[in-house]
Amino acid sequence: MFVDAHCHLHDASAFPDPAEELRLAREAGVERIVVVGTRPEDWTVARVFAETHEDVDWIGGWHPN
């Protein structure tokens, strides 16, 4: 199983079309994706993104610490 264990697909400024990115990842054999929230206000965005996309999980971190 291939897992993308750290990405920021929930960041709309970096990934304006996350559905296309998810499609490409799945086409390449990625079965699960973990989006990483980097600060408290980003945790909610990451969580909601994961809840609304199949095979996507989220974690919250504190960057840059």
CA distance 25 to 1: 13
Give the pLDDT score at 64. 79
User: What is the rounded radius of gyration, in angstroms, for the C-alpha atoms of the chain?
Assistant: 11
Q: How many CA atoms lie within 13 A of 15 on its CB side?
A: 14
Specify the pTM: 0.90
Q: Cα 21 to the chain's mean position, in Å?
A: 10
Q: Which amino acid is at 3?
A: V
Give the pLDDT score at 38. 94
Task: Give the tokens for residue 35.
Answer: 């989006």
β-bridge pairing 56-60 and 2-7: unpaired
Q: What is the mean pLDDT of each run of 10 residues along the chain (65 residues)?
A: 96 96 97 96 97 97 82
